[in-house]
Structure formats: structure tokens, C-alpha cells
Amino acid sequence: MAHDAAAVSAELDSGKSLKSFVKDWSQDRQSFEVPWGKAMMWIFLLSDTFIFSCFLISYMKVRISTTVPWPIPSEVFALSFGGDPIPLILIAIMTFVLITSSGTMALAVNYGYRRDKRKTVLLMAATALLGATFVGMQAFEWTKLIVDEGVRPWSNPMGAAQFGSAFFMITGFHGLHVSAGVIYLVVVATRVGTGYYDRHRGGNYEMVEIAGLYWHFVDLVWVFIFAFFYLW
């Protein structure tokens, strides 16, 4: 009997079985065995998932329902460096910048758990810098589209009028998330650097991981925007 009890207990502790799921959710105390800040960030990201999904689904709906041809993103977002225009090149560079920033953030979280203050701050600063670069390139992209190609939320010279509203809404909201993320990262990195978490949180750097969750989510949303808006 004792052996069986130990086996069940080990199974529940691993947290990977259906039994552990039922136990975690039915006990009359906290269900998620993670710091509350992390659980709340996940809940926020879940709600943000629905917001971005609403944008992408409405984009799908207008694109299906328009009888006017949809502008070809591959051509609209082509960029020429003296020679022939290269399709989607700026978007590809932006994608690589954002993935790189996700990589540096993942490393920052890892060094945060090792209490390596210097590397954590440096990697978070690199992440924020790459994020700012992304926003800068997006500003360039918007300028090019508005000034040179005459795209407006209500019309554009290339085809379906809904292209502009979908584009500005989706990439604008994502760009806003990146901008907010850069500020968020700078705040958390400053607090790590100045020893705020050492003084007020007993040297617990879990805030770095929570900021990391937000940043990876921003990258995650871009994966879907890249696939559905730019490549489709």
C-alpha cells in the first residue's frame, strides 16, 4: 500500500498526468503552482490571443468577401536596393530581428535564474534594442506605404480597399505591443541592474521571466501575422 501511495504521489508531483490536472483544479486552494505574477501574465496573454485572433479573423473575412482582387503582398512590400525589387525583403529582415530578440530574451531569462545580473541586464538591453529596431523598420514600412504607394485605411491604388484597414490595424496593434514591450524590458532591466529585486524581492528575478513571456508572445503573434498577412 505504501508503495502504491508513493507511486501516485510521484505521478501527481510530476504534473504531467490527467490525475494531476484534476487534483490541481479541484483542490480548495491555488490551482497553478507558479508565482501569481506568472499565472496572471499567462491569463493576460490568453486574452491578448483573442484580440489578435479577432483582428486576423476579421481580415480573413473581408479578404474572402471582397470581389475586388486583393493586393499581392509580395509585390506591395517589395523593396529595391538599386536593382530589381526583392519581394518582402524588409519583412524578412524584421522577422529575423524579432526572432533574434526572442533568442536574446530567452538567454536573459536563463541568466536571470542563475542570478547573473550583468549578463541578464546586457541581454535584456540587447532585446530592447532589437525591439526598437523592429519598430523603426515598421515606421519606415508605414511611411513607404502611405507616402510612396498611397495606401489609406479606406482605399489604395492596388486593389481591395480593405487591404489598408486590415494592414494598419493588425501591424499597428502589433507595433504598439512591441513598443510597450521595449519600455517594459527597459524598466525590468533597470530594476535588475540597480538591485531593486535584490532589495525588495529577496533576489528573486522571476520578473525577468514574466517580461520574457510577454516578449516571446509578441514574437509569437508576428509568426501568425507573417504567415497570414504577408505570405498568404
Partner 1 sequence: MTDITHETGHQQHPLGIYIWVWILLFVLSFFSYMVDYYHLQGMLRWSLIIIFMLLKAGFIVAIFMHMAWERIALIYAILIPPLCLLVFIGLMAIEGEYTTLSRLASFTQHVFMASPVHH
User: Binders of partner 1 among 189-228, rule CB under 8 A?
Assistant: 204, 206, 209, 212-213, 216-217, 219-220, 223-224, 226-227
Q: How far is CA 11 from CA 6, 22, 24, 97, 123, in A?
A: 9, 12, 12, 41, 37
- Helix (H) or strand (E) run with residue 107 in it: helix 89-113
Give residues 149-188 in contact with partner 1 (rule: CB under 8 A).
155-159, 161
Cβ proximity of 183 and 177 under 8 Å: no
120 makes contact with partner 1 (CB under 8 A): no
Q: What are phi and psi of 86, to 5 degrees?
A: -95, 125
Interface with partner 1: number of residues (CB under 8 A):
71
Give residues 71-100 in contact with partner 1 (rule: CB under 8 A).
74, 87-88, 92, 95-96, 99-100
105 makes contact with partner 1 (CB under 8 A): yes
What is the per-residue binding string for partner 1 in 4-43, x denoting contact by CB under 8 A?
-----------xxxx-xx--xx-----xxxxx---x--x-
138 makes contact with partner 1 (CB under 8 A): no
Three-state secondary-structure class, residue 158: coil
Nearer to partner 1, 179 or 204 (CB): 204
Closest separation in Å from C-beta 67 to partner 1: 5
Closest separation in Å from C-beta 101 to partner 1: 11
Cβ proximity of 71 and 159 under 8 Å: yes
- The span from the CA of 131 to the CA of 183, in Å, is 10
Nearer to partner 1, 83 or 157 (CB): 157
Three-state secondary-structure class, residue 86: strand
- DSSP string of 161-180, one letter each residue: THHHHHHHHHHHHHHHHHHH
Nearer to partner 1, 99 or 180 (CB): 99
118 makes contact with partner 1 (CB under 8 A): no
Closest separation in Å from C-beta 216 to partner 1: 5
Among 40, 68, 139, 183, binds partner 1 (CB under 8 A): 68
Among 79, 90, 110, 169, binds partner 1 (CB under 8 A): 110
Cβ proximity of 173 and 49 under 8 Å: no
- The span from the CA of 40 to the CA of 46, in Å, is 10
- The span from the CA of 58 to the CA of 64, in Å, is 10
